[in-house]
Amino acid sequence: MQAPLPVELQGQIGQRLREAYVELINEPVPDRFVELLQKLKQREEESKEDSRDEK
Amino acid sequence: MTKSDDDLQALLIGAVPNLRAFANSLCGDPTRADDLVQDTLVKAWSNLEGFEKGSNLKAWLFTILRNTYFSELRKRRREVEDADGAMAERMSVLPEQHVHMDLVDFKKAFGVLSDDQKEVLLLVGAEGFSYEEAAEITNAAVGTVKSRVNRARVALNKALGFEAGESFNPNSEFVGITRAAGRG
């Protein structure tokens, strides 16, 4: 196994990584995802109603 | 937790920024990343029975996302393997990277990591999952995850050209080889 990096360098890399990642996390979420979940939930409720009607 | 649960909706939506960041970092293509997140949400929704109540929903979602990504990747590779196997070989030779510490360079450097290295570094270093959680998500042994994280850090460090202390010389192996050759 390769020798681990000195802690100081691990820290520098970790910081860069988190900075780049937080930048991505902070991007606004497109509406399509909220809409998708609403649609999935709606479909679920409709199918429940359908199965109730069948009984 | 049931599908009509408003909490579940909120939890899933709450996970989207992290899922997008992870997918984007992994595949490097924002459009494909969003498709991956969408597939992940649909799969999670239709397999909700498979989620153990009380366990980590975020870890479960990350597992679905990376499994989706890697199975797509395997499929694509099979499709193009014969056509450009030689190309892939050339691509795997990493370009020489040089210095500077701003984010653009970091992202470029990150791009030279293998997918295996990227995903564990993101899970552990960026998302803050434990090694054990990362092992579960990636379906690998904890020791494998630790050594992948380590190799990813070493490779990133090299690509970024960070100054290292006495204890770390990225060229030591190479020096060792030339010395040995000189003696022989």
Nearest-by-Cβ selection for A37 from B13, B107, B162: B13
Burial class (CB in 10 A: 0-12, 13-18, 19+), B156: buried
Backbone torsions φ then ψ of A43, nearest 5 degrees: -60, -40
Q: How far apart are CA B48 and CA B45, in angstroms?
A: 5
Cβ atoms of B131 and B124 closer than 8 Å: yes
Q: Please tell me which residue of chain A has the smallest CA distance to B110.
A: A17
Chain A nearest-CA distance from B181, in A, is 22
Q: How far apart are CA B135 and CA B146, in angstroms?
A: 9
Q: pTM of the predicted model, to two decimals?
A: 0.77
Pairwise pLDDT comparison (A1 vs B168), residue with the higher score: A1
B 4-63: CB under 8 A from A: 4, 9, 12-13, 16-18, 20-21, 24-25, 34, 37-38, 41-42, 45
DSSP classification of residue B167 = T
Cβ atoms of B108 and B101 closer than 8 Å: no
Query: Which residues of B are less than 8 Å from A35 in CB distance?
Result: none
Report the pLDDT value the prediction gives residue B134, as an integer from 0 to 100.
98
Which residue is it, tokens 């979420």? A29
Find how far residue B146's CA is from the centre of its chain. 13
Q: How far apart are CA B48 and CA B4, in angstroms?
A: 12
Q: Is B165 on the interface with A (CB under 8 A)?
A: yes
Q: Please tell me which residue of chain A has the smallest CA distance to B143.
A: A1
Chain A nearest-CA distance from B80, in A, is 30
Neighbour tally for B157: CB within 10 Å? 21
Low-confidence ranges of chain B (pLDDT < 70): 1-4, 81-103, 163-184
The alpha-helical segments, DSSP class H, found in B92-141 are 103-110, 115-121, 131-138
Q: How far apart are CA B93 and CA B28, in angstroms?
A: 19
* Alpha-carbon torsion (B58, B45, B68, B104), positive or negative: negative
> Mutual orientation of helices B57-91 and B131-138 as an angle, nearest 10°?
70
Q: Is A7 on the interface with B (CB under 8 A)?
A: no
Using DSSP's 3-state secondary structure scheme, residue A36 falls into helix
CB contact set of B41 (below 8 Å; sequence gap of 6+): A33, A36, A37, A40, B12, B16
What confidence tens digit (pLDDT) does each residue in A13-51 have? 899 899 999 999 999 999 999 999 999 988 888 887 777
Q: Is the pLDDT of residue A54 over 50?
A: yes
